[in-house]
Amino acid sequence: MSTTHRIASTPAVRTQEEIVTSAHARVWLAVLRLATGFIFLWAFLDKCFGLNYSTPPERSWLNGGTPSQGFLTSDAVIGPLKDFYASIASPLTDWLFMLGMLGVGLAVMLGAGIRVAAVAGSIIMAMMWAAEWPPTQGSSNPLVDYHVIYGLALIVIAVTLAGDTWGLGRWWGRVVHSAQWLR
């Protein structure tokens, strides 16, 4: 008498090659991922250490600067949400903003946790876009500015599993195989 055993199989982890069949496209998605990740990581580094690009050393976070409070209470915040943004400005928003920039930047640069980073980064970008809405006369584009482009880049990077090329995405996908939303 023969007994058939059914072997429980776990679903295979999807890879970027299944989604993006062109090797050249995968390379350019990796370049986009690294550049986008560096934008977020650089924002953290410059605001934390005052590298004298957008943040002078005397206004660095380490020297007592207030990375989000300074922006949220500035004249850069305009429109109907100005009072809301001013009301949330606090040391907590400084910490959340800085941890968000660091977390999104590292995750995207490393290629692991990109889905979570894409959601978090897109929310950060949408909030920053809304803080400057409606755009003033003379702005470059009344609807689609760099905040929107960065958010879209994060989404493209996440849905194409761009962390698999030149990153830890494939390995991370196996680590979190039962919770692919963490991929």
pLDDT one-digit tens code per residue, 56-68: 999 999 999 999 9
Query: What's the rounded mean pLDDT across residues 14-38?
Result: 97
Question: What DSSP designation does 161 have?
Answer: T
- pLDDT tier, 11 (very low <50, low <70, confident <90, very high otherwise): low
Amino acid at site 71: F
Q: Do 59 and 50 meet the contact criterion of CB atoms below 8 Å apart?
A: yes
- Token pair 């550049």: residue: 35
**Which segments of 1-81 does DSSP mark as H helices, in order?**
16-19, 23-49, 67-72
Residue 6's pLDDT is: 46
> Does the pLDDT value for residue 4 go beyond 60?
no
Percent pLDDT > 90 in the chain is 78
pTM: 0.89
What are the contacts of 133-140 at 24+ separation with CB within 8 A? 133/78, 133/79, 133/81, 134/78, 134/79, 136/78
> Does the pLDDT value for residue 115 go beyond 80?
yes
Q: Which residues contact 171 (CB under 8 A, 6 or more apart)?
A: 112
Amino acid at site 156: V
Give me 120's structure tokens.
Answer: 């978090």
CA distance 120 to 101: 9
Q: Which residues contact 86 (CB under 8 A, 6 or more apart)?
A: 72, 73, 77
3-state SS class at 160: coil
Beta-strand ranges (E) seen in the chain are none
